[in-house]
Amino acid sequence: MSKELFDAMRQSVIDGDPDLAAELAQKAIDQGIDPVVALNEGFVPGVNYVGEQFGLGEMFLPELVVAGEAMKAAVATLEPEFAKRGTERQILGKVVIGTIEGDIHEIGKTLVATMLSASGFQVYDLGVDVPIMTFVEKAREVNADIIGISALLTTTMVRQKDVIEALQDNNMATKVMVGGAPVTQSWAKEIGAHGYSEDAVGAVAVAKNLMGLA
């Protein structure tokens, strides 16, 4: 029965069906299945499949968004069971993420946050129009491994560099990932960012690499 349930979980993420994903997560809890197993054997393979297909150009942004929503619904359902059992799913690293001050574009940043969370990172999403020192202060507060800074405007992407300089001024070794429409690999290198990705799937790979996991 578990095999059939895990297959259905995987498919619910691929289909981007949050209601079904939550229902299947609850079914796993009712059957006494370890939530860590349900997550890793059922839902994570679905996210991985969608990410692979996106990378191949077989799936597109809308499919990625709804898959992320289904995964969030599953995790939200399983979370109380993690707490009850005194177990925690493996956290790959802590990421503080936001769109830089002066910029209110949200979709890309939110998608990256969702995919990172679905892939096992603990994500603190600061939202949009985030002041430079808010990134720094939150990273210090939660002992973040990575800061992700999104910018969709050429006029605001220069502030990504300001965050990196503020971290240096505060003697913080937090790694920095940057992204957004005008952002390039050469820009990331120029400002001293540790990682860059042009899409959410790539951002997960970059984050894993920064954590020494890839």
Which residue is associated with the tokens 């690499």? 209
- Three-state DSSP class for 150? strand
Q: Which residue from 129, 124, 170 is spatially nearest to 150, judged by alpha carbons?
A: 129
Reading the chain (214 residues) residue by residue, the pLDDT tens digits are 589 999 999 999 999 999 999 999 999 999 999 888 898 899 989 988 988 888 788 988 888 889 988 988 998 899 888 778 776 677 899 999 999 999 998 878 988 988 888 788 999 999 999 999 999 999 999 999 999 999 999 999 999 999 999 999 999 999 999 999 899 999 999 999 999 998 888 899 999 999 998 6
User: Degrees (nearest 5) of the Cα angle 158, 164, 170?
Assistant: 140
Question: Which helix (H) or strand (E) is 97 found in, with range?
Answer: strand 94-99
The dihedral built from the CA positions of residue 102, 107, 108 and 112, taken in this order, carries a sign that is positive
CB contact at 8 A, 99 and 135: no
